[in-house]
Amino acid sequence: MRVVIAEDNALLREGLVLLLRSSGHEVAGVAATGPEILPLLVEQRPDAAVLDVRMPPGFRDEGLRAALEARVQLPGLPVLVLSQYVEETYAAELLGGGARGVGYLLKDRVGRVDEFLDALGRVAEGGTALDPEVVTELMSRRRRDDPLATLTPREREVLQLMAEGHDNATIANSLVITERSVHKHIGNVFTKLELPPSDSGHRRVRAVLAYLNA
């Protein structure tokens, strides 16, 4: 996989390059400032882009803006946005154009190398990777007559993992249950939340996120 990295901190940039190269990916280019990102993406047309939110020269949200712009200019380009902190609004903006090939993760997650590479792979294949912290925040919102309150703890866990963008096999693995029971739980969740039943894949993620974001 050819990946473009945008990260201003040299230490983290080198770390990411090392991590991707050592796991068999090609680093097609690195950007150290916000304005460099788009031209680099247009020139390289990578399989995926890993972008930091806060970049020079303004040290505000240049990386995020570049990601949004890239999704408009290069439709279908998978973008994984990394940030020192997560903000629901940013997630909503990123998912605004659909949940296909979008990732939004805390930088901390890079430390879990396998999980990070798994998320990057998912995004590159058109899936979604949403940071658990964002999903937790979304799920902890107070609503009137909250249907989320009717979910069993296990169903909540399943919903959380679904919203993060995992498929049934991964959900089954991380909860140490069979895929069949994952399937059953998902059915229950969709019934309780009154969502139309949906197969696995990005349509399901989008339905769940649309529900949580409402």
Q: Which residues bind another protein (CB under 8 A)?
A: 53-54, 59-61, 84-85, 87-89, 92, 106, 108, 111-112, 137, 141-144
Question: 76: left (phi > 0), else alpha (psi -120 to 50), else beta?
Answer: left
Q: Which CB, 87 or 157, lies closer to another protein?
A: 87
Q: Which CB, 145 or 199, lies closer to another protein?
A: 145
Strand ranges across the sheet with 102-106: 26-31, 2-6, 48-52, 79-83, 102-106, 128-130
* Short-list 182, 208, 213, 210, CA closest to 197: 208
- Between CA 134 and CA 16 the distance in angstroms is 22
CB of 140 to another protein, least distance (A): 9
CB of 106 to another protein, least distance (A): 8
- Between CA 179 and CA 185 the distance in angstroms is 10
Q: Which CB, 134 or 208, lies closer to another protein?
A: 134
Q: Which CB, 131 or 167, lies closer to another protein?
A: 131
Cβ(185)–Cβ(155) below 8 Å: yes
Q: Which CB, 7 or 47, lies closer to another protein?
A: 7
Report CA 182 to chain centroid distance, whole Å: 21
CB of 44 to another protein, least distance (A): 26
Beta bridge partners of 29: 4
Q: Which CB, 30 or 110, lies closer to another protein?
A: 110
First to last CA, the chain: 35
CB of 109 to another protein, least distance (A): 9
Cβ neighbours, 10 Å, residue 53: 23
CB of 160 to another protein, least distance (A): 17
CB of 41 to another protein, least distance (A): 21
Q: DSSP 3-state assignment of 16? A: helix
